Structure 1
Amino acid sequence: MTPRRLTPPERYQFGATLGPLQVPRHDPCVRVTADELWLAARTPAGPGTLHLARAAGELVATGYGPGRDWLVERADAIAGLRDDLTGFPALAAAHPLVERLARTFAGVRLPATGLLFHRLLRAVLEQKVTGTEAFRAYRKICRHFGEPAPGHADLLLPPDPAAVAATAYWEFHPFGVEQKRTMALLRAALAAERLERCTDAADATRRLVALPGIGPWTAAEVVRTVHGDPDAVSVGDYHIPNTVAWGLAGEPRGTDARMLELLEPFRGHRGRVCELLGRGGIAAPRFGPRMPIRSFARF
């Protein structure tokens, strides 16, 4: 397939839009800079790598490997160009902070990768632990299960769900993952094929939360990136209820119920509002110690 040329919207922010696809401090499967994305993937058509680059006001999508056509065909969604902001400016105008953040980050879009298990792997590892712990485990697991990706970017393919499902739970301890998260990951790997076939965020959410060990938080983290769902709210998060309560009501602490109440005027874009608050650096005052960083590698 020849490279595909895409026209981004005015003020489009490449790095800010695609940065969330990459785990911080080196991702074996994804590389994002201010001008380039390299994404290794296991597509329905086979392994592939997508290269997306800015050039003369356009985005140029090039694919490698058996999955190249699938990736290039979906490149506009991965770049966030299918993200529909219709009606959001009117909703944002209801709150001065949200309106200001919406203008500041008007060029940031929500990607929709269509690659569910890779994002689910990361979300399960991020359950109830610090980012440092989760990202460390993700990198170790990707290196253990990964295979060289097509192309010349020196990336690894994300772990094959079948290989993950065939692994005993105790083999994940050296990666820093305890039994509870490992069992959720193994169940997800067994269900990966039908999860990948989900046609939209609602279908994916319904199937995800039916799996033991996967709740609303994990499902929201997945569908917001995989299906580009702007309304997906990460209920059960350690920080987001406080962030929303502080940003929208000046309250230093908030519950999930209070968060949803404050977000209700933005229904249809509630997840987008949470993303904007995070991008804007809005954070509630801290009153207690930080969550400790632990290691399960010796268990």
Structure 2
Amino acid sequence: MSSSPVVVGSAGVTTVWEPGGPYHLAGTIGTLQCGAYDPAFRTVGSAHWLAFRTADGATTLRLQQRGTLRSSRVEATVWGPGAEAALHGLPRLLGSEDDWSGFDSPDFRATLPELAKKGRYLSPGLRLPSTGRVLDATARAVLEQRVTTFEARRSWRYLLERYGDPAPGAGGSAPPELRLPPTAEQWRKIPSWEWHRAGVDPRRSATLLRASLVASGLERLAAVPAGPLVSRGLSSVSGISVWTSAEVMQRTHGDPDAISVGDYHLASFVGAALTGRRTDDAGMLKLLAPWAGNRQRVVRMLYASGFRKQAFGPRLRPEDHRYH
């Protein structure tokens, strides 16, 4: 891609990225979308629209995959003052640095459980994306703490619709509801009653506010390789747990090993998939230990296989914090 200055008009600037192998755009970037009605990530037909901020400013990004699974290209068009920076980070966003060659080697493949092999067969084009946007990922992960997926998505949508700025103009072609996630300052200005209306309890809102106060330090973690240093940096913010750190690194760094310890469903899913029996976090980590360095890849392949554990026992029920 060009490193020359980018001048963005109403038509935007378009570039093409070629993955050089099997690739599935929707499967790769889908983990970045907080539900179908995420104001910062909308899918219209074959086009995926993202709104986010870079160091140079805000940008609107449209992505479309052309060709076939095994021979394709991704067309990317950007608008806004952050367009040049967005183009620079585009390959990492699309998973260019996610190397599956070791995972796909015959020797490593021979160690994998059958469900993981099946998942890889069904999803050869999956890559792990790296956004580098630590505050955005942290905010979303904090909102997802200890609540159902439905509740977290509702809170994210409510807060972005009210406190996120409109995405940069895209010549009228972008979804009109597309909005940018709030800046650190905007997160800090949300009044207490609006957190309440968004269904966010005081513990999570306080954690997000503390993260916004050290946002510049968190963003610097994007340049640090995924691993213990990033996890410790994130966990230095009171209220950010091991689970939250893993969820962030999966999105910001494309970490192939980050495991969401403490997740309400994950340990029992992994146990059921690998042994036919549910387990706890310690048991899950023991089961995944043979694939250290690729544990997140293994988990993703278990899900991709289509395996679903039997539903026994109580479900995590939504809790309405607006009336507490």
Output the TM-score relative to the length of structure 2.
Answer: 0.87
Give the counterpart of 2:180 among 154, 157, 170: 157
8 Å CA contact 2:115, 2:305 repeated in 1: no
Structure-to-structure mapping, 1:119-134, within 5 angstroms: 119-134=137-152
Which residue number in structure 1 is paired with residue 77 of structure 2?
A: 62
Tell me: CA distance 1:269–1:32, structure 2 relative to 1, closer, same or farther (3 Å).
farther
Greater CA deviation, 184-193 or 229-238?
A: 184-193
Tell me: CA distance 1:5–1:227, structure 2 relative to 1, closer, same or farther (3 Å).
same
Structure-to-structure mapping, 1:91-102, within 5 angstroms: 91-94=108-111, 95-102=113-120
Deviations 1:52-83 (A, max 9, x none): 22234311222111111111111111111221
Q: Give aligned pairs, total.
A: 298
8 Å CA contact 1:19, 1:32 repeated in 2: no
Deviations 1:208-257 (A, max 9, x none): 11111111111111111111101000000111111111111221x11111
Give the counterpart of 2:49 among 38, 59, 78: 38
8 Å CA contact 1:18, 1:37 repeated in 2: no
8 Å CA contact 2:187, 2:212 repeated in 1: yes
8 Å CA contact 2:118, 2:301 repeated in 1: no
Structure-to-structure mapping, 1:1-299, within 5 angstroms: 1=6, 2-32=13-43, 35-56=46-67, 57-89=72-104, 90-94=107-111, 95-152=113-170, 153=174, 154=176, 155-198=178-221, 199=223, 200-202=225-227, 203-251=229-277, 253-299=278-324
**Distance (Å, rounded) in 2 between the aligned partners of 1:10 and 1:30:** 25
Tell me: CA distance 1:282–1:100, structure 2 relative to 1, closer, same or farther (3 Å).
same
Q: CA deviation at 1:25?
A: 2.8
Tell me: CA distance 1:35–1:93, structure 2 relative to 1, closer, same or farther (3 Å).
farther
Unaligned runs of 5+ in 1: none
**Distance (Å, rounded) in 1 between the aligned partners of 2:184 and 2:134:** 11
Tell me: CA distance 1:183–1:275, structure 2 relative to 1, closer, same or farther (3 Å).
same
AA of the residue aligned to 2:48: L
Q: 3-state SS of the aligned residue for 2:296? A: helix
Tell me: CA distance 1:34–1:260, structure 2 relative to 1, closer, same or farther (3 Å).
farther
AA of the residue aligned to 2:235: V
Output the TM-score relative to the length of structure 1.
Answer: 0.94
**Distance (Å, rounded) in 2 between the aligned partners of 1:6 and 1:47:** 21
Unaligned runs of 5+ in 2: 1-5, 7-12
Tell me: CA distance 1:25–1:88, structure 2 relative to 1, closer, same or farther (3 Å).
same
AA of the residue aligned to 1:20: T
**Distance (Å, rounded) in 2 between the aligned partners of 1:260 and 1:237:** 12
**Distance (Å, rounded) in 1 between the aligned partners of 2:307 and 2:98:** 23
**Distance (Å, rounded) in 2 between the aligned partners of 1:159 and 1:3:** 26
8 Å CA contact 2:235, 2:241 repeated in 1: yes
Greater CA deviation, 107-116 or 78-87?
A: 78-87
AA of the residue aligned to 1:45: D
- Which fold has the larger relative contact order, with Cα–Cα distance below 8 Å and residues 6 or more apart in sequence? 2
Tell me: CA distance 1:114–1:292, structure 2 relative to 1, closer, same or farther (3 Å).
same
8 Å CA contact 1:38, 1:49 repeated in 2: yes
Query: Aligned residues: percent identity?
Result: 39
8 Å CA contact 2:226, 2:249 repeated in 1: yes
Q: CA deviation at 1:168?
A: 4.5
8 Å CA contact 2:165, 2:180 repeated in 1: yes
